[in-house]
Structure 1
Amino acid sequence: MKLSLFTAAAPDLEPEPTAQLLAEQGWDGVEWRVTDQRPADQPGFWAGNRATWPLTGLEDSLDEIRRITDAAGLEISGIGGYVRCTDHEGVERMLSATAKLGAPRVRVTVPGVQPGESYREVFARARDDYAFVADRAGELGVQALVELHHGTITASASAAFRLLDGLDPEAVGVIHDLGNLLFEGQENPRWAFDLLGPYLAHVHVKNGVWRPTGTDEAGVTHWEHGWATLRGGIADVADYVDALKEHGYDGWITCEDFSTELPQTERLADDLAYLRSLL
């Protein structure tokens, strides 16, 4: 297994110094974040992230993305895109850009269920959309990935398998995400890996916690979830990596540590050291 970092977790530096930092620390690769983000006074994971490539004008940035990545001696483990499967024009752009970049895979997101909508109907439409995604990805020689993510129709491995079952696993696959599953969709990872089979294409690792926010007048405790260091959250990262080994997974593990206890450089170095120790 090889280790990469999703640049959403590295908001402080521009792409070139980010790549240089990852190379100096000993990471194998990088998963570039691509989206048109909100501006912010200070860099953050989701807004003002300096290591994010804009979706607008992406085609004009491909040579620079490749130059920066190659100069650092890194591989591109994947593209962290945010285009939704319902946006066929946007999907076409992301798949084509991924192919031109020479990257192997790109995330194509799925919707959640909005008030007044039916899960079954949203799911059926997304299934049709992902059939389109699979056809185009196969033609372009790249792989489109569904991420297990809370708040979407594929919060669990079971749901993602149901969405993709019967489509070409060379063209579409699943990102199994340990941290997201703490908040919705948790299933025994060993069973989930077995269920996904050839659709297990990529892995994201982060950790999180549930924190009490107070008790209401009825004596009921309310909770919220948040992110934690790889070592400090609820999930057993060591057991998770062991499960991947037992399954025979030999792909990328991409770190997505959104904790804020440590400065970025120190946080990333510790993440890499910990993950290396588990491998």
Structure 2
Amino acid sequence: MKFAAFSGVLIEHSIQEAMKLTKQLGLDGIEIAVREPHLSPTTSKARVKEMASLSEDLGLDIPVLASYIGGFSTDSDKGCEQSFQDLQRLLDIAAELKSTMIRVSPGGPNGFMSQAYHYEKAAYWMERCAQAAKGYDIDIVMEIHNGSIVETVEESLRLLSLIPSDNIGMIHDAGNMYITDTDYGRDSVIGLGSRMLHVHVKDELRVNEVGAPGTFLNVTKHGEEKFLQSRMGEGGADHGPLFAAMKETGYNGWVTLECHAPFPAYERLEYDLQFVKKLIASV
């Protein structure tokens, strides 16, 4: 496995600073959040070339561009077309940065509220995205995420079954799956199989009230629930079975650290990295 930092954790820094801090942590790569001040579909060619050059100088890979493109299942046709055009621009950027994956969101609502037409519309546009990416030898990845039509492994496989292209798969995210209250351990890894193309790790905790730093509300199948963004091992998501399953199945892809706990960015990334190293040693 290779480890990356999510640049969104370091969004208060310039992308150049974020890349240098990631290298300082000893990580193998950085997953770039496609939002300013780090990157966007309209970022100039000169800026992209600068990022590519710095990546090479640091020996730091950029495996994934984590875009916020998508929302196809509920967007208007005009909005979907705009997202698709943004994706086409990102493909050129990804090629320059030697990225092999681009995250695209199929959209909402929560899986337990979704209807067949949500999956059908999302599948149509995700297939177009995958076809466009195929010419660049790039994979499209959809994150298993609370509040989307792919909150669970079962919902992910349902959507994938409607998409003919094979260069599309899922980002496993145990933190999100903890929020959804669905399995995120061994069965989830076995269930996704070869369609698990990437992994995010972060921790969350169910709490009784919001207001403190790092707390937020989220709608789940249980109703409106309260959560606290946490460092690894301090929340409620047990990542042990996940890493044991990745070892069992021989997963050798990327794992991105995406901690949003209320601590300084570098400190929480460093903490989570050390936790993950100990976790891997223990399994």
TM-score strictly above 0.5: yes
SS class of match (2:234): coil
- Corresponding pairs, count: 255
Contact 1:58–1:97 at 8 Å: present in 2 too? no
Q: Deviations over 1:139-189 (max 9, x none)?
A: 2210110110111111112111111126333x1111011111111161253
**CA shift for structure 1 position 12:** 3.1
Match of 2:261 among 259, 262, 268: 259
Contact 2:186–2:241 at 8 Å: present in 1 too? no
SS class of match (2:69): coil
AA paired with 1:162? R
Match of 2:116 among 112, 117, 120: 120
AA paired with 2:95? A
Q: 1:252 to 1:29 in 2, by over 3 A?
A: same
**181-190 vs 202-211, which moves further:** 181-190
1:185-196 aligned within 5 A: 186-196=182-192
Aligned to 2:214: none
Match of 1:241 among 243, 251, 271: 243
Aligned to 1:272: 273
AA paired with 1:246? E
Mapped partners of 2:151, 2:208: distance in 1: 23
Q: Could you state the TM-score of these two structures normalised by the residue count of structure 1?
A: 0.84
**CA shift for structure 1 position 213:** 2.6
AA paired with 1:173? G
Mapped partners of 2:207, 2:242: distance in 1: 22
Contact 1:131–1:167 at 8 Å: present in 2 too? yes
Contact 2:41–2:87 at 8 Å: present in 1 too? no
Unaligned residue ranges in structure 1 (runs of 5+): 37-49, 215-220
Q: 1:163 to 1:17 in 2, by over 3 A?
A: same
Structure richer in helix, relative to its length: 2
The reply on whether 1:143 has 2:144 as its aligned counterpart is no
Mapped partners of 1:88, 1:188: distance in 2: 30
The reply on whether 1:177 has 2:177 as its aligned counterpart is no
Mapped partners of 1:123, 1:58: distance in 2: 34
Mapped partners of 1:223, 1:4: distance in 2: 30
Mapped partners of 1:143, 1:111: distance in 2: 18
**CA shift for structure 1 position 94:** 2.0
**CA shift for structure 1 position 264:** 2.1
Q: Could you state the TM-score of these two structures normalised by the residue count of structure 2?
A: 0.83
Mapped partners of 1:266, 1:188: distance in 2: 26
Mapped partners of 2:188, 2:274: distance in 1: 27
**CA shift for structure 1 position 258:** 0.4
1:15-164 aligned within 5 A: 15-36=15-36, 52-84=38-70, 86=80, 87-113=83-109, 119-164=115-160
Mapped partners of 1:63, 1:164: distance in 2: 34
Mapped partners of 2:9, 2:24: distance in 1: 17
Match of 2:252 among 231, 250, 253: 250
AA paired with 1:254? T
AA paired with 1:15? I
**100-109 vs 57-66, which moves further:** 57-66
Mapped partners of 2:224, 2:156: distance in 1: 29
Unaligned residue ranges in structure 2 (runs of 5+): 73-79, 211-222
AA paired with 2:202? K
Mapped partners of 1:131, 1:266: distance in 2: 39
**CA shift for structure 1 position 118:** 6.1
SS class of match (2:99): coil
Q: 1:80 to 1:224 in 2, by over 3 A?
A: same
